[in-house]
Amino acid sequence: MNSARIQHLVPATTILALGIWVAWISFTQQPSSAFLFPRLISVIMVLLAAWNFARAALGFAKAGAGFYAYEIRNILPGIVIAAIYVFFAAKMLGFYVSSIATFLIIYSMYDPVPLLSARDWIKRGVVTISFIAVIYILFALILQVQTPRGLFL
């Protein structure tokens, strides 16, 4: 097995394992009605991840050359913040409050505009509130799924 295939196989295996773990959680948690939407999405994600894994294992994945150290260094802070959001903040602070904070932090970290510009902070705020409004409309009004409750909401 050559290094190009390994560079495709390692992330494909990781994503497949993560997808199976999320699907397993969505099928084993109670109340089961609250996990209907995550169950549907997780099954779709496992199917896509399995397809991606098969392509990588058979050597059909030809796109890209894998990750380099500087790319991992660039995305690692966002992954850490997302993990804090998923495992702690959403349950402690509430889904919408923690989503606002997480989105704004990640958006500010990766936005190339200087952090000292008041005009750009207003733009970040408008984009963040718009994003959360879409999330609220999607989850609370259209899908009517239960979101994590926390300290603030």
pTM summary value: 0.68
pLDDT of residue 67: 66
Co-location of 15 and 74 in the same domain:
no
Tokens standing for residue 102: 């997480």
Co-location of 91 and 131 in the same domain:
yes
Domain hosting 72: range is: 68-153
Those residues with Cβ within 8 angstroms of residue 94's Cβ, 6 or more apart along the chain or in another chain: 148, 149, 150, 151, 152, 153
C-alpha separations of 133 from 71, 91, 145 in Å = 31, 20, 15
Co-location of 151 and 81 in the same domain:
yes
Convert the pLDDT of each residue in 112-151 to its tens digit. Answer: 988 898 999 999 999 999 999 999 898 888 878 777 777 6
Instruction: Please name which of 120, 122, 123, 78 lies closest in space to residue 103, comparing C-alpha atoms.
Output: 78
Convert the pLDDT of each residue in 69-93 to its tens digit. Answer: 788 889 999 999 999 998 889 888 8
pLDDT of residue 132: 93
